[in-house]
Structure 1
Amino acid sequence: MGGPHPAPAPPPESAEMVLEILLKLPTRDVIRCCCVCRLWRSVVANPTFRDLHAAEANHVSAAPPEALLVTVTLEPGRPDEASFFRVSFPSKPAAMPHRVTIPSGYSLSNVCNGLLCFALVRDSPEAPAFICNPITGETAMVPKAPPPMGFTGGTIYHIFALGFSPSTKEHKLFRFTFSPFSSIHGKTIDLCVCTLDGAAGGGGWRQCSFRSQCPLLHTFTPLLVQGKLYLVTTGKTGPGELRNPDGLLEVDVATEACHTHRLPFEADQYHSAWDPLVNASEMGGRLCLAVDILSGTETTARKIQFWVLMSSSPPNHHDLHWDLRYSFHVDGNYYFFQPRSVWFDDAEMTLCYRDYNVLFKHGTRGRSPEPSPDADCPQCDRQIKLPQMPSNCEWNIFGGYRPSLLSPLTLAPPSSCWDGEEERHKCEHALLLTLE
């Protein structure tokens, strides 16, 4: 009778309260919260919450980059399908919750924070790029680009790169069109840019051309680091001519300015007929180039060097400050025209280099930077034979991924704005009037 009264039941949590809590969490934790209860899952699934969470730039910029395994299944008579797995998360590799249907013949062009950009590499220069978020499963087609200027025939390549500027909070899509043979189209690169944020896609595509010493390396995946996109040129200036050392193209996403700089290694380290064996990753928030150095014409004596860009120089200066961090020897033949990729596992402090069917892993914990490019270096710590994938499956691993809840639908305008739907309706109306 005189005992203590039971404590009042806590008030039921509201969706507004859960929203305020989840907005303060990084994307990884928000994804986990979907498994707590139906209320939390419904809050995360709400487009309004995703837009608010994506607007918190620190959720993405402060997160360390991850490596993402992307597999594409190619079945005759069926749409191509992409699956995604996070392989550098500080736990076991984890599958993404969604598989995405992608346009036939498309391949991953680059990673921009939490968004993936797919595009065609050859032919069909006006084919639109395809953007998806592997966490939400949402996809969008980007407005068609105009035809490239000054290209009338021969082999033409297109490199699409999705970029984001932290200073302007804008997403932009870049398309670089070029010929691998300078004797046909000279050394001109046609550049198209489209600002995606905004109701009308930023006013459509803007087109210009600029000169490059050499064509772009179409097998190199553009990398976005701190608001700048990086691409590599082939170094080839013409048959029988010396290689050109100016091989790193830097594109500022905010200003759209393009500058070409020298690569950190000597141009004559490669045979004149070979493309430079360069891949890019991010290390400590900076651009890192992994360079596969071959000894003369030999493809078995190989050294892989990792150069980190320490600071940029003025636009009119070609030299950049590079620091040779690590290098190691590897055994085995190099397979030309086969997939390669590189990433840095922040959790394990390990350099990872995929060379076709072999994965090289080299720990950096407790290791000092290399004193010079000519110094002796150790053998790679681990060399792992990768399993053979089915013939109907293509895959690679891409660094620089930072999970985000940003919807691609907020970047691409409605399809009626760019796919000719209005013009088609007018034509159909006129045709029906004629047939009456």
Structure 2
Amino acid sequence: MPIWKVIYIYHMSTSEFDKYKVDHLFLLIGENLLPNYVAANLLVNKGKSLYLIHTTDTERQAKRLQGILLNDEINGLKAVELRSLNDYESDAYYIQKEIRTKLETIKSGKIGLNYTGGTKVMSAHAYRTLFYEETKDKTYRQRADIIFSYLDPRRLEMCIDKEDSDRIRLKIKPDTLSIELVKIFQLHGLELKKKPTQQAQLPKLATELANVFKEETKSKQWFDWFYNVFREQAYQQKSNGKGDWKSNTSLMEVLTPLEKLPEEIIAAFRKENFVTNDDKLSLQQLQKTGSFKDIKHFCKWIDGVWLEHYVLEQVKNIAEKQLIRDYGMDFEIPLQGTQFQFDIAFTRGHQIFAISCTTSSDRKLCKSKLFEAYLRARQMGGDEARVALICCFNEPDTLKAEILASTNDKKIAVFGREHLTNLSEEIANWIAQNDREAK
């Protein structure tokens, strides 16, 4: 197994949860397994047992979660059992019968039910079944020491229901439980095509480009050079309207004049040793620096991928201070015969933060990228997921307002041209706002 597929879960401080942990936890399984996975890690005593209550529709998810939990050695679970309701998810008698059959085999230990993942009908009947226990004289009484819980995604809290008092809210802090991105994809039955990138390429050059793109006049100057000078030499247009970068052999011969570029970029190219003595960008000289394994990768980099590397570097700069345990770029995810890619993503605690990037200032394109990222992030991370767009649009607030009208989700962030040069601070503020809204 490649090292990048090894998953680490960080349990930093779970003392608040200790007195609510149980020896036998019943979990109602839903479509999104992340809340179930969080509950399994926070509410079960080490070496004890889980019972996954599922229907025919969620059997596949239950089996997947069973395999994941049994392979997570850090949990040390004694057993993870499947309990099927088949197609009787709305049948009170069947739900009670299935749960009681299991309860009769439990002779000791504290019992709990986490009903985040189930339907309302499943939750109600499971709650009722576990709340009461049958006595020797065939009467029923309240079960002692049972723990009922659910995950509140809006406030990032595990709620403990109490019959005789207000519910207890336990904040799931970033250092309480941290889940890596690969694990979240795995919970959805998805395998990444390749290891995500964690090291930005040419971060200093990317920073200079970000500084240039903050000014609309200079960004136009860049695009004019890129399309009318560099691309004319390095790109091969085909008769059918499509095209591609030229072969590596041909690219090695490219010598591109730089006089139409902003001075900052010319100086940055020089610092990277990409420029000849007569001030031309040399792809042959670039190849000798070892910055890219393939010259075409550089062509794609300056075609817009540089922004993703710049954003990756900004996330990396604040990772330790912001308790970001896992981050990366270029998450290629196969979904139902299609291909989707998170440009940048990181996890903070069990939350996934997804960032879509584009150097475009076209409103329609920016909106499309943000909306797609929003849908995929919610699919991966549930209601807890957070999404941002980083683009060169001049009116990011109006774009955010438009998406808000469609989604009613105030947690979406849009960073435009004006935010590029202080992006680390902007992302940190976005995280802080997320924390404030969860209180």
> Shorter-chain TM-score category?
under 0.3
| Larger gyration radius, structure 1 or structure 2 | 2
* TM-score (structure 2 length as normaliser): 0.22
* TM-score (structure 1 length as normaliser): 0.22
The answer to which structure has the higher helix fraction is: 2
